[in-house]
Amino acid sequence: MMAQSAIAPVTLAQQLTVKDVRNALKAGWQDFAACPVYGLFFAAFYVVGGLGLVYGLSRMGQGWWLIPIMAGFPLLAPFSAVGLYEVSRRREAGLPIGWRGVLGALGGKGDEQLILMGAIVFVAFSFWMILAHGIFAIFLGESGIGGQTGGLLLSPDAIMMLLVGSAVGGIFALGLFAITVVSLPMLVDREVDFITAIIVSLGVVRSNKRVMMGWALLVAVTLTLAMLPFFAGLLVVLPVLGHATWHLYRRAVNHA
């Protein structure tokens, strides 16, 4: 029997396993296969947005910005899946699924708690972009790199910039992952304040470090790979991971 610990109004699983992750991914795929239109709808915003950024930044000679933007995309992914959490919630509960209910979930339970979490995610992404710009300025600020990234990205300074940026970005992303991985689906599921949801999310990560760190790595790697073929992979990967996150939340948190 899975060990649990009490925190806030819930009990948390303390022995999540790789099998729980596999089951969550399987359930996530089943949700996507059953209701693909919702997953494709939400993912399409990011595919179109990504292609628009590539075109716009290339035209402005600022192609190097694509590196921090793509690196920071996993920061936005949890909030982008809010509508998908609602689809999974309704399927699990046997409730009718429609656009009104799914889109309505983006506003939360009418208490602005989900909106406040969205603001935290947006501020975090903005702060990451500021950090990325600072790291670029330190290592390549005088290089005149602009949009000509080819040879300079193989220079020692550029390689060091990528290493430092990856380390800083990884730490930053891990912190945001810890406060959102459970809090966002919980805010869709229950009427709780966002502080309580964050505490529960941190508790799940702390109690299941190995499995949750593995999940974070899986999400980061698969989203990155999905962006490589002109962002097209996001049309499948983003919805499946979104639905799977809901099911992992349901395995990790039992409400009192």
pLDDT along the chain (256 residues), means of 10: 58 88 97 97 89 81 70 73 95 94 85 86 85 80 53 69 82 90 93 92 94 93 87 94 96 80
pLDDT for 256: 55
pLDDT for 1: 43
pTM of the model: 0.86
pLDDT for 147: 47
The first and second tokens of residue 50, run together, are: 């990504």
Question: Structural domain of residue 53, as residue ranges?
Answer: 4-255
pLDDT for 136: 79
Number of structural domains, the chain?
1
pLDDT for 91: 96
pLDDT for 4: 57
Q: Report whether 12 contacts 253 (CB < 8 A).
A: yes
